[in-house]
Amino acid sequence: MGNVSKAQPRVPLSVMRASGRSPSSVAELDATGRVLVVGAGGVGNVVVRKCSRSPEIFTDICLASRTKEKCDRIAADLVRPIQTEQIDADNVPALVNLICAFKPSLVVNVALPYQDLRIMDACLATSVDYLDTANYEPPNVAKFEYKWQWAYHKRFKDAGVMALLGCGFDPGVTNVFTAWALKHHFDEIHELDIIDCNAAYNGHPFATNFNPEINIREVTAKGRFYENGGWVETPPLSVHQPFEFPSGIGSREIYLMYHEELESLARHIPGLKRARFWMTFSDNYLKHLEVLRNVGMTRIDPVNYNGTKIVPLQFLKMLLPDPSQLGRQTKGKTCIGCWIKGVKDGKTKRYCVYNICDHQKCYREVKSQAISYTTGVPAVIGAMLMVDGAWRRPGVWNMEQLDPDPFMEKLNLYGLPWTEKIL
């Protein structure tokens, strides 16, 4: 990859202060790794539980969210005390105050994609590093793109602050898998298929496995894939095929969707000719989704109901099961990975790399189902690599732009072991 840059060593705040340098001119960092986690949902729960078990890296943790009780419930069940706060992450001055009071070295944003830009603004204003797991989405248009966050690159770089984007599983680990494949297995990657399978049952006729509003916006969008330098659009969920999954999961129907990592991978992986994203859905899920769409319940524009403006999808979210509460009853496995075709030493090569994650095993470890787990653990690993300096560099970065090796090593150590195969 052409644009892998060298990591910059962290500058401890104490050293900076002793040398008389202004903290705001370099990232205002403290080498101890105080971390502010924003968002006390399913993913936030996993992030905080995992961080709390690594006190040598994350010495102090603050969990802040719109509903403080949710933070307190998580905090009450941890191995060590953490701070909790109420915050509206759409309010930049309030975020700045919280950051100035807690003095984190890093803000982990696991609220909703709507908050990304405001939290980045607050991080810039206070010179504190930033990490998220999903790219910015304007609330009133179901459209996610990196352009808004990439536009912060120069400002972050000039301020000596780092933003790591999309550090969940997909996006996140799938970007790192691709970078790893390119570094260790290919001279050029030509075809990339990212495949996400949730082979699980949770007892509900219809439930999403992460935030229902974000999930349904994503699934009902047009399919889109990258081919020969351009983008091809398909009607929502219209392209599908059976796929044979490993580890006893067997054959499942996979559906072509648009997913945000395609945009950054198409930009950062040289030689890529085609990149697609696929996801499995049960017939039951698709049947419910079709009916909900047909009757207008997935609309994101406000409708007038008895003089009150209601967004149907937000109302639907209130009725659906809370994904963060599905851990106990969700049984089965996820399989998420990259199936790749490319060239090595002049010969065509096919290769895959994937993780299998068991829902009940996750529940036993962190009281969560595997979707929140597979998102939260990579966020913690990304945070570790920023805090210890291995991945730290000023600017706004996607995961595939950084050295995949330390991240791949930590996946095996922190609960998401991976398997690779030459096909």
In contact, 52 and 78? CB cutoff 8 Å: yes
Both tokens of residue 83?
A: 């701070």
Of 127, 175, 211, 298, the one binding ligand NDP (CB under 6 A) is 211
CB 348, min distance to ligand NDP, A: 30
Q: Which is nearer to ligand NDP, 11 or 112 (CB)?
A: 112
Residues 6 or more apart whose CB falls under 8 angstroms from that of 1 comprise 179, 182, 183, 268, 269, 270, 400, 401
| Per CB under 6 A, 369 contacts ligand NDP | no
Of 87, 142, 237, 362, the one binding ligand NDP (CB under 6 A) is 87
Count CB neighbours of 398 within 10 A.
Answer: 25
> ∠211-215-308 over CA atoms, to 5°?
70
In angstroms, rounded to a whole number, what is the distance separating the alpha carbons of residues 411 and 407? 6
Of 27, 34, 65, 161, the one binding ligand NDP (CB under 6 A) is 65
In contact, 33 and 106? CB cutoff 8 Å: yes
Of 171, 223, 394, 415, the one binding ligand NDP (CB under 6 A) is 171
In contact, 313 and 298? CB cutoff 8 Å: yes
In contact, 363 and 327? CB cutoff 8 Å: yes
Both tokens of residue 139?
A: 């609330």
User: Helix or strand or coil: residue 302?
Assistant: coil
| Per CB under 6 A, 72 contacts ligand NDP | no
Mask: binding to ligand NDP, 149-168, rule CB under 6 A, as x and -?
-------------------x
| Per CB under 6 A, 40 contacts ligand NDP | yes
| Per CB under 6 A, 415 contacts ligand NDP | no
Of 5, 25, 67, 284, the one binding ligand NDP (CB under 6 A) is 67
Q: Which is nearer to ligand NDP, 29 or 165 (CB)?
A: 165
Task: Pick out residues in 213-242 that bind ligand NDP (CB under 6 A).
Answer: 214
- What is the number of the residue whose Cβ is closest to ligand NDP? 41
Q: Which is nearer to ligand NDP, 150 or 169 (CB)?
A: 169
Q: What is the distance between the terminal CA atoms of the chain, rounded to a whole angstrom?
A: 23
Q: Which is nearer to ligand NDP, 11 or 43 (CB)?
A: 43
| Per CB under 6 A, 169 contacts ligand NDP | yes
Q: Which is nearer to ligand NDP, 139 or 389 (CB)?
A: 139
From 42-50, 248-256, 289-297, 339-347, give the range in contact with ligand NDP by CB under 6 A: 42-50
Q: How far does Cα 28 stand from its chain's mean position?
A: 25
Which residues lie across from 188 on neighbouring strands?
343
Query: String of b and e for 96-105 (b: at least 16 CB within 10 Å)?
Result: bebbeebbbb
Task: Pick out residues in 290-329 that bind ligand NDP (CB under 6 A).
Answer: 323-324
188-201 and 274-280 strand pairing: parallel
The amino acid at residue 201 is Y
| Per CB under 6 A, 177 contacts ligand NDP | no
User: Helix or strand or coil: residue 247?
Assistant: coil
Q: Which is nearer to ligand NDP, 215 or 360 (CB)?
A: 215
Task: Pick out residues in 103-132 that bind ligand NDP (CB under 6 A).
Answer: 110-113, 115
Of 10, 50, 70, 367, the one binding ligand NDP (CB under 6 A) is 70
In angstroms, rounded to a whole number, what is the distance separating the alpha carbons of residues 58 and 363? 23
Residues that bind ligand NDP (CB under 6 A): 39-44, 65-67, 70, 87-90, 110-113, 115, 133-134, 168-172, 210-211, 214, 323-324, 371-372, 375
